[in-house]
Amino acid sequence: MDGRTLRLAVPRSAHAVWEAAPDRDPLAILRAIFATLIPELVPARIDRMSRSPFTFYRGSAAVMGADLATLPRSGIETQISGDAHIANFGGYASPERRLVFDVNDFDETVRGPWAWEVKRLATSILLAGRERGLRERACTIAVRTAMETYRDRIAEYAARPAIDVWYAAIELSGAVRTALDDRARRTWLRAERDAKRKTAFALLPKITELVDGKRRFIEDPPLLERVEDPEYGRRVLAAYLSTLREDARLLLERFAVVDIARKVVGVGSVGTWCALMLLLDGDGNPLLLQLKEARASALEPFVGAQVSALPGERVVNGQRVMQAASDAFLGWADVDGRCVYVRQYRDMKAAPDVASLEDDELRDYGAHCAWALARAHARAGDPRLIAGYIGRSSAFVTAVTAFAAAYAEQTTRDHAQFVAAAAAKELG
């Protein structure tokens, strides 16, 4: 199969088209999701999604998945994160303690059409810029720059040996060097500096306290609530250890669970079961892990069941395939009827508030997100097919930029409908 020949069935210009299906009902999709969430957290999910079209977009990956499934597909698939909006990228520490920049959310990861998340990224850039109040022209330029970056980077990876693509990574120091202008360069330097301070060790004194000589989480209902079942953490730890590499497992066996607390995170994860787990080794040194409930991907109804039998395994495998460097403590557990994936919490995380970026900063950050997405797709699939399909011209860039504008308008209408339904108590 050659990427160029696939244009005969699905021209690149076809990616510009967005037309809502006659029976489209985004609220029905969201109601069905809300019905499966922790009931007392649903209001928090609705509140966060109501704040703007951009926050609504972040919490409605299932809606966009249903919409994308109605559009023509090129036939090229790779592992996709499933929710590649601009706020799901960022910097973090590799196992070697290098600061790298990459896709960092894999709750919805599946093997599916590569163009779906290119379109999701493009639309998110436009919505983030609009939330900041940037001029429409600046938002459009940011989208177009990102799509040009994706086109050019996937072509570069297509020309490189597979082993080089496998080892390729984007370091934060490299992002500083490739920044598009001085202000964007300062943004990256600030992110790099802040990341080195954003560690679990720095966070622990703020969210834990000593009670009768034992360290415990400080409750802040409903955002942080301790789990009173002391055996649950031990069962999770035992199951989780069996999914780790031998070296990480040997290290984690030196630790014991001392406390666990349910924690509300993000926008799209609000209402699912997420928690922090505090562990101490024999000398009292702490380790803070995050547990996130893993469910079937919102995209599975449109791409089919995945190879991984357990949702947590699907998330972990997708992350390991796509990221240049994954957390050494990344694993999963299936305990008490709930599947979770586990990772370190706040391990030198670096990401700006994307809805606060100025026009040149948004253009630069969006371009780096597109670079990271191209690298991830190239690592997980065949970049020659994607590069061959896109080509060197501006045809695909122009098409996706047009799609982003049209779908951003659809999202704005959906958001208004959502806010009205929330006010009328019609969301469950």
Buried b (16+ CB within 10 A) or exposed e, 276-288: bbbbbeeeeeebb
Whose tokens are 């924690």? That residue is: 263
Length of the chain: 428
Tokens of 54: 């951009």
DSSP codes of every residue in 27-84: HHHHHHHHTTS-GGGHHHHHHHHHS-HHHHHHT-HHHHHHHHTTS---S-EEEE-S--
User: Mean pLDDT of successive 10-residue segments in the chain (428 residues)?
Assistant: 91 96 96 93 93 97 97 95 95 75 94 97 98 97 98 98 94 62 63 61 80 86 83 92 94 94 76 90 91 94 81 95 92 93 78 85 94 97 97 98 98 98 91
- Helix axis angle for 395-423 and 61-68, nearest 10°, is 130
pLDDT given for residue 266 in this prediction: 66
Distance CA(260)–CA(141), nearest Å, equals: 45
Dist CA 244 CA 326 (whole Å):
12
Question: Could you give the CA distance from residue 339 to residue 337 in angstroms, rounded to a whole number?
Answer: 7
Q: Backbone phi, then psi, for 402, in 5-degree steps?
A: -65, -40
Query: Which residue type occupies 356?
Result: S
pLDDT at 293: 93
Q: How far apart are the C-alpha atoms of 420 and 415, rounded to whole Å?
A: 9
Assigned token pair, 205:
């004194």
Sole residue written with tokens 């360290």: 215
Following CA atoms 224, 228, 232, 236 in sequence, which dihedral angle do they give, to the nearest 10 degrees?
A: 20
Return the amino acid letter for 365.
Answer: Y
CA dihedral defined by 212, 213, 215, 216, rounded to 10 degrees? Answer: 0
Q: Report the C-alpha gap between 363 and 358 in whole angstroms.
A: 9
Question: What distance in Å separates the CA atoms of residue 224 and residue 367, rounded to the nearest whole number?
Answer: 35
Q: What is the DSSP letter of 12?
A: G
Structure pTM? 0.91
Q: Which H or E run contains 189?
A: helix 182-195
Amino acid identity of residue 91, one-letter, is: G
Q: Cα dist. 224→41, 213, 269, 385 in Å?
A: 12, 21, 14, 46
Dihedral Cα 17, 20, 22, 28, nearest 10 deg: 150
Strand positions, DSSP E, 116-211: 208-211
Contact of 60 with 299, CB cutoff 8 Å = no
Task: Please tell me what DSSP assigns to residue 171.
Answer: B
- What ranges make up the beta strands (E) of 135-220? 208-211, 214-217
> For the chain, how far is it from start to end, CA to CA, in angstroms?
47
Burial (CB count within 10 angstroms: exposed 0-12, middle 13-18, buried 19+), residue 260? buried
